[in-house]
Amino acid sequence: AAPARDRLRIAIQKSGRLAEPARALLSSCGLSWRESRDRLFCYGETLPVDLLLVRDDDIPGLIADGVCDLGIVGRNVLLEQDGERRGIGRAPAFREWRALGFGGCRLALAVPDGWEWRSVSQLAGKRIATSYPALLSQWLATQCIDAKVVVLSGSVEIAPRLGQADAICDLVSSGATLAANQLKPVQTLIESEAVLAGPEQAFDDVRGELADLLLRRLDGALRIRH
């Protein structure tokens, strides 16, 4: 068994959309930190709760490997990586503990403006570009649609204009990016927001009490906000 740990380590995004709101939420729970010189680690001062500042994509894996205890990440990233693990027969290693009410967006299918959209069956035989292959493939399977998933790590919205794909599956918030690329959303796959992610199982050492304390404060802070 892993050695018992007496501090809680939370992974958050180093920079990006969720970085500031995640820190603000944790601050509102009464946490404060002293930053390391490289700005990758923040040592908890008011409570033994430390932060690790990382890329959002690394957060589920850090929890799965036990490097971090909790993380703040988009549900879209958590579900995609969970789907990826399932796809290769691995056991679930993390789950959503709380929805946090910021970073809202949806994972949606979008097609060129010129398409006359009637039903999802129109996607049969088409190429769909996405950075979320596990979630898209799962959804296509539930719809019994055979389409080709084209995996791109970024700039998904220009794929149709470049002739790489016929449609896309990407995150949408205001819809301005789709419109600027002559695309229109036709189907939502997942409603997403930032979530507190943690392991499948509760902690069996002092981290359990710290996590309970943090969750109580978090629930209080979330109630005040909404």
**Can you give the binding site for ligand PRT, defined by CB under 6 A?**
13, 16-18, 55-57, 74, 76-77, 103, 105, 170-177, 192
> Shortest Cβ distance from residue 13 to Zn ion (Å)?
8
Encoded amino acid at 39, one letter: R
Residue 152 makes contact with Zn ion by CB under 5 A: no
Residue type, 29: C
Nearest residue (CB) to Zn ion, 57 versus 193: 57
- The site partner of 134 among ligand PRT, Zn ion, none (C-beta below 5 to 8 Å per kind) is none
Q: Does 57 bind Zn ion (CB under 5 A)?
A: yes
Residue placing its CB nearer to ligand PRT in the complex, 137 or 181: 181
Asked if residue 183 lies in contact with residue 111, where contact means CB atoms within 8 angstroms, the answer is yes
How many residues of this chain interact with Zn ion, rule: CB under 5 A?
Answer: 2
Interacting residues of 171 by C-beta distance below 8 A, sequence separation 6+? 76, 105, 106, 107, 108, 192
Which amino acid does the sequence have at 59?
I
- The b/e string for 68-106 (b: 16+ C-beta within 10 A; e otherwise) is bbbbbbbbbbbbbbbbbbeeeeeeebbbebbebebbebb
**CB closer to ligand PRT, 135 vs 210:** 135
Q: What share of the chain is helix, strand, coil (3-state, %, to 5)?
A: 35, 30, 35
Nearer to ligand PRT, 57 or 217 (CB): 57
- Least distance in Å: CB of 40 to Zn ion? 16
Q: From ligand PRT, Zn ion, none, which one binds at residue 137 (CB under 5 to 8 Å depending on kind)?
A: none
CA distances from 63 to 33, 67, 69, 192 (A): 21, 6, 6, 20
Whole-number minimum distance, CB 41 to ligand PRT, in Å?
16
Q: Which residues bind Zn ion (CB under 5 A)?
A: 56-57
